[in-house]
Amino acid sequence: MAGEFVSALLGPGSCGLTLMRIFTLSLLFLLSSPRAWPELSLQRVGLLLASRDDYDGQSLCVEGTAENILESVSLKKNPYYTLSVREGTERLRVFSFGKADITEGQSVLACGRFHKENKVGERTYFNEMTACLVESLPGVFGLALQAGRRPIFSGTVIGVFDGDTLEVLVQHRARPIRLEGVDCPEKRQADGRRAKQFTASQVQGKTVSVEVVDIDKYGRMVAWVKREDGRLLNEEIVRAGMGWWYKKYAPENKKLEQLETEARAAKRGLWLSKKPLPPWEFRHLPAKNRRRRKGLASSPAPVPLP
């Protein structure tokens, strides 16, 4: 489609249209240039591979066709998938941890931090990017990213896995969404069930707007989720004291920092406990200690804020 559009611009016409064609082609070039827009996320596979030194360590996205899908096992015995994202004649090798639903020839979006070299198992790859299936969202990601914007789409929340993970139905396909900047208690933790109930009370069965920030290693879209009333679900969870500001992944978000400080001071939600255990610490506890922690008393059910 892009080729047909450019061909039409270059096609025969009156001399009066020449300047308009030149202007339009210049605009297309600017939109496709990573240096023209500081916030641009999308990068072309060929340029990325040819300029590894320039992009080493940067967070980028690429869009293309899935090929050469392989299942492997890491040195720690964890299963994962690798695949190639093809754009024209160029291919970029990316990861797809636990994602078995991507098949050959489907459109995928791969996001993550690009590295010149990254060794997993016995093989070496050139990135730490993770792929996500976007077959049923044609054009939604590419057009937004090329214009220097994050991809945004709307859908209906059909499931809540836990306090910070949703399932959104968009174009007849259920998509897992991990909330950006928030970390809620795990299901096996005290307050884990209540955190899930709070999130469900906010968005279950409702239409939300999803602004994609990244794709995590599990193939989930990491996103800001806006409710129908315009409020961000991510912020409402922290405001109610049902989740932590995830400083590791949103270190510069002063709003979440402020909301957590206020929730602590007001002893809302999980902050009723003297020293609630952060979920990132819980996940690293030995299994027997995690079972013990599950039996701790939890705080009263949260009340949705106005």
> Selecting from 2.60.40.420, 2.40.50.140, 3.90.110.10, 3.40.190.10, what CATH number does the domain 45-136 have?
2.40.50.140
Give tens-digit pLDDT for 44-77: 888 888 888 888 777 777 888 888 888 877 666 7
Domain-by-domain residue ranges, the chain?
Answer: 45-136, 150-294
User: Reduced to 3 DSSP states, what percent helix, strand and coil does the chain have, rounded to the nearest 5?
Assistant: 30, 30, 40
Buried b (16+ CB within 10 A) or exposed e, 140-149: bbbebbbebe
DSSP E strand boundaries for the chain: 59-73, 79-87, 90-95, 107-113, 118-120, 123-125, 130-133, 152-162, 165-170, 173-179, 182-183, 207-215, 221-226, 244-245
Residue 135 annotated to the active site: no
Task: Tell me the per-residue pLDDT of 116-149, one tens digit each, with 9 for 90 and over.
Answer: 765 554 455 555 666 666 654 445 555 555 555 6
**Is residue 278's pLDDT more than 60?**
yes
* Domain 150-294 CATH class label: mainly beta
CA dist 79 and 71 (Å) reads: 7
Q: Which of 63, 186, 235, 260 is catalytic?
A: 186
Q: Which of 91, 220, 239, 268 is catalytic?
A: 220
pLDDT, one tens digit per residue, over 209-259 is 998 887 777 778 889 999 999 999 999 999 999 999 999 888 889 999 999
The pTM for the full model equals 0.61
% of the chain exceeding 70 in pLDDT: 64
In 10 A of CB 230, how many CB atoms?
A: 7
Most confident of 14-23, 173-182, 226-235: 226-235
Catalytic site residue 178? yes
Which of the following is catalytic: 44, 93, 178, 239? Answer: 178
Q: Which of 85, 112, 65 is nearest to 214 (CA)?
A: 112
For 73-97, give one letter per residue: b (16+ CB within 10 A) or e: eeeeeeebbbbbbbbeebbbbbbbb
Query: Is 174:140 a contact under the CB 8 Å cutoff?
Result: no
